[in-house]
Amino acid sequence: MNAIHSTPFTDSASAIVARGLTKSFGGTTVLAGIDLTVPTGTLLALLGPNGSGKTTTVRVLTTLLAPDGGTAAVGGHDVTREGAAVRRMIGLTAQQATVDDLLTGRENLELFAGLYHLGRSGARRRAQELLERFDLAGAANRRVGTYSGGMRRRLDLAASLVAGPRILFLDEPTTGLDPRSRAELWSVIRELLASGTTILLTTQYLEEADQLADRIVVIDAGRVVADDAPAALKRQVGTERLVLRLSRPEDVPRVAPVLGEAVSETTAREVTLAVQGPGHLRRTLDLLHKADIAVEHVELRSPTLDDVFFELTAAAA
């Protein structure tokens, strides 16, 4: 299996820097002062609810959209004044596939290679390398219109890597893929990071961000509401949660009064509490036993990025 090669980005400065980006459409503010910094050779995951401004941020940073205010530099080049220089060093996998259904997989990649002036023989070599790396060699001469969704997405990512970009933008690259195809793309992304590529990833999958990101930025309503490493963000939510599954659903509303503390979440038969210290579990079970509230299962859960996401975006609403 061929390795993916990316042109080394040796500048010690951050590969992507944005300060105070603003953008409005028809009186609706989409970006309200976004700040981002992505150090060279790292992956930053940009998270947020639908409509929070993730794709607009990517479009500004990739020179597809001019900001109303603020500044941004990619690879040391201003995105508004030096757009051509930015485009020469980036790759973009957008939400919608950019490959042509009427062409074969090979023809698509050779077409992209031609746009980068690799020459006929260079285009053929690069296309073959990428077809093999993305397990598409067997379908290279089939029209893309016959590809599955996962195959199309792999081809689309391959097309964004034709020129060996220093900086890669992935806008929800795994949306709609089955778990196997998603895992394959994760492997590719890790390989790109290992080669020194800088990646800005937007995703709807919090597990994806947790698995891949060096740093996570959460935006909501066009503003940054959190910016930290995944582990640090989880610590912000708090300590572990204690999940109690009760034998009788009618006991659920009795738990909070018996314990004298608030519960963070309830379902038909489960109650979730924040762990308040080493003795909290024993005290909780003792109090529930004395109140004749039967517990059939106990589980300690560490905070997840889901907890972070819901808490941060709810606070910003």
Instruction: Check: CB of residue 246 under 8 Å from CB of residue 84.
Output: no
Hey, how many other C-beta atoms are within 10 angstroms of the C-beta on 28?
A: 9
How confident is the prediction along the chain (317 residues), in pLDDT tens digits per residue?
444 444 444 445 799 999 999 999 998 999 999 999 999 999 999 998 888 999 999 999 999 999 999 999 999 999 999 999 999 999 999 887 788 999 999 999 999 999 888 999 999 999 999 999 888 999 999 999 999 888 888 899 899 999 889 999 999 988 878 888 888 888 889 989 999 999 999 988 888 999 999 999 999 999 999 999 988 888 776 667 889 999 999 999 999 999 988 787 788 999 988 887 778 889 999 999 999 999 999 998 877 777 777 777 765 55
**pTM value surpassing 0.85:** no
Q: CA–CA distance from 230 to each of 122, 133, 238, 265 (Å)?
A: 40, 30, 13, 23
